Structure 1
């Protein structure tokens, strides 16, 4: 898997060996990879809320993503949160 990882430094943006990633699809974080290595299956199933400055609510806002049914390697955008 190639791409930039959500939350990684711009100097070292790539995925690391031995880690598990989900691709973020849609919304302001489209195309980024999310490191889900340390999430339990239950946590992955609930989805995640990620801080972003480029969503609907600007700085301090969050974007919600959840696993795509049938393809847990992709997290689809559910919407933005204040």
Structure 2
């Protein structure tokens, strides 16, 4: 794991991990998907406002850490894994590739 990857672990995707966000970690009143594998491994994706049908499509997340800097890392749920309704980490999305 390189330095950038270590810095991201346990943090929420989209929160500024440098200096602007005083609390880059998860909040107790939000729901998250844990990102597994790939350049964003260990990050949490805030899915609090997602509708149930949105989960099946997964997420294409902008990142400078993937195969194409400024491209997207693709993460998808596994159909056999159930989502746990409620707050906190409710599901996992697995890395499936990169897109420019």
TM-score of the two chains, using structure 1 as the length reference? 0.89
Q: How many residues align?
A: 80
Indicate the structure (1 or 2) with the bigger Cα radius of gyration.
2
Higher strand share: 1
Q: Secondary structure at the match of 1:78?
A: strand
Structure 1: segments with no counterpart, 5+ residues: none
TM-score of the two chains, using structure 2 as the length reference? 0.74
1:12 to 15, 23, 29: 23
Structure 2: segments with no counterpart, 5+ residues: 1-8, 84-90
Deviation at 1:9, TM superposition (A): 2.1
Partner Cα distance (2:10, 2:29) in 1: 16
Partner Cα distance (1:40, 1:77) in 2: 21
In the TM superposition, structure 1's runs of 4+ consecutive aligned residues that sit over 3 Å from their partners are: none
**Which structure would you say has the larger RCO, counting Cα contacts within 8 Å and 6 or more residues apart?**
2
Higher helix share: 2
